[in-house]
Chain A
Amino acid sequence: MNCQKVRNWFSERYDFESLKWFFKKKYVPSHRYEIFYYFGGLTLFLFALQFLTGFALALYYVPHPEHANKSVMDIITKLNFGWLFRSLHHWGAQLLIGVLFFHCFTTLLLKSYRKPRELIWVSGVLLLGITIFFGLSGYLLIWDERAFAAVRVATGGAGSLPLFGEYLKVFLRGGADVTGETLTRFYAFHVCILPLITVFLVVFHIALVQFHGMSVPLSLEGKRVDKIPFFPNVFLKDLMIWLIFLGILVTLSVLFPPSLGKKADPYAPPPENIKPEWYFLFLFQTLKIFPGEVLGLNGETVAVTLVTLAILFFLLIPFFDRKSSMGEKSPVYTAIGTFYLVYFIVMTILGFVT
């Protein structure tokens, strides 16, 4: 872009030089684990795609129990490329959550959360939770039998929390049971509340990463680490990875478009062998291993409480892991991180197999 006039117009009014400076002097450490730096940016890219395809779908979707399922059917069958946008949104969500989990576990095992980056970790875990809620709320919007049953189970699970579980369940459902009220509510969450919170948190998360710079793995702390300029070297690799994943996404979307079930009927039994989405399987499986009664307490309550505590601990790991924060090796937390990762993988696979 060599429009000198336009450039002059702006440079007379705004200080572009310092912006240029920011990009010029932004360097990123380069070492063995460098590849893991790219998954944060990839998550951002997939989020941006979700926003774009979501905008497009929102032009036609009707958030009403009488029309929701049919409006999705119309999008798939009657509109130009509607099937593609619905498919991209569906597969984009799967990839986003997968990459997000990957990003989360790599930062956990590389101890990127240690001092001074605790708030990056906390905002990241909050984003992970919000993204999963994105998945659940979006899942209900197609208003077919499977989605209806899934949301009934998930919100019911939230109801097993001690003390405020019942309150939370009724808040999520917008009533005693899953009804049209729930659809209205989930629509509000999915297209209005969650996106706003997400944008805010993502900006916060990325601004902090700019402020602190990239974390270097503990094992390389204090050693000489090469630095490469962000622009253009790292940015170009970012773009390459984005392009590869865009290719994967479009391929999956075109070859495996998601199905759409019959319109939900609140009085019908749930469809046969119903399973939650894959990112809920580890929770689902956890609930299954608990017996109906543990030490005279309701088994489900115990399970949900334990899971909640485990998630809370996960959120607060940077504050418990003192050794990493002092820059020492912290084998205990490597073990804990590995346990979380292995548990997640094993339980997800078990959920698939059973």
Chain B
Amino acid sequence: MRLEQSIITRRTFLNTLFSGWFVAFCLGSLYPLLKFIYPSLGREPDFVVLNAKDFLNIPNNSTKPFPWGAKLGLIFKKSDGTLYALKGVCTHMDCNITYKPELKKFYCACHKGWFDEDGKNIEGPPPKPLEFFDITIEDEKLIVAKKGVKVELPKS
């Protein structure tokens, strides 16, 4: 049945309305499901809180590992005694790196990549320098945070 001026029949209109509603309904139901099944655990943290006394007294020109989420983090004391924190993961293929104190370089064994003590990629395949973090010390806490992240500690 079609009205005089109409370009579509009543049935077409109703079918479109119903299908449109149905598609919207399905998409709306699918949205939370897709959001849920896409993993959101094990994301990299914005900051981690460590015990300061475990890390402040490490010898010069050495590193000590800490968990940065599921990845390796390194607290690194340069030979001049300044303290740094960095992500201990090679920028090439995410392998864990080691510090070679005799050469004062970071080395990645996967594809023989080298970084100097400032984290600059100097040899081998790594495309980017290592990621360094900000360090702040509050009372007993050593707070390691991504550069530019505002740290808000939960009120205990």
Contacts and interface: CB of A to CB of B under 8 A. Distances in A.
A80 B33 contact: no
B26 to A, nearest CB: 12
A85 B41 contact: no
- B interface, by DSSP: helix, strand, loop or mixed? helix
Contacts of A80: 32, 35-36, 38, 40
Interface residues on A, range: 10 to 19
B32 A78 contact: no
B14 interface: no
Contacts of B33: 52, 56, 81, 85
B149 interface: no
Given A80-B32, A81-B32, A84-B32, A56 B37 contact: yes
Interface residues of B, number: 8
B70 to A, nearest CB: 14
Contacts of A60: 41
A56 B37 CA distance: 7
A56 B36 CA distance: 8
A82 B35 CA distance: 9
Contacts of B35: 80-81
B111 to A, nearest CB: 34
B32 A79 contact: no
A107 B36 CA distance: 39
A59 interface: yes
B34 to A, nearest CB: 9
A129 B38 CA distance: 35
16 contacts: A52-B33, A56-B33, A56-B37, A59-B37, A78-B40, A78-B41, A79-B36, A79-B40, A80-B35, A80-B36, A80-B40, A81-B33, A84-B32, A84-B36, A85-B32, A85-B33
Closest 7 CB pairs of A and B: A81-B32, A80-B35, A81-B36, A81-B35, A80-B36, A56-B36, A79-B40
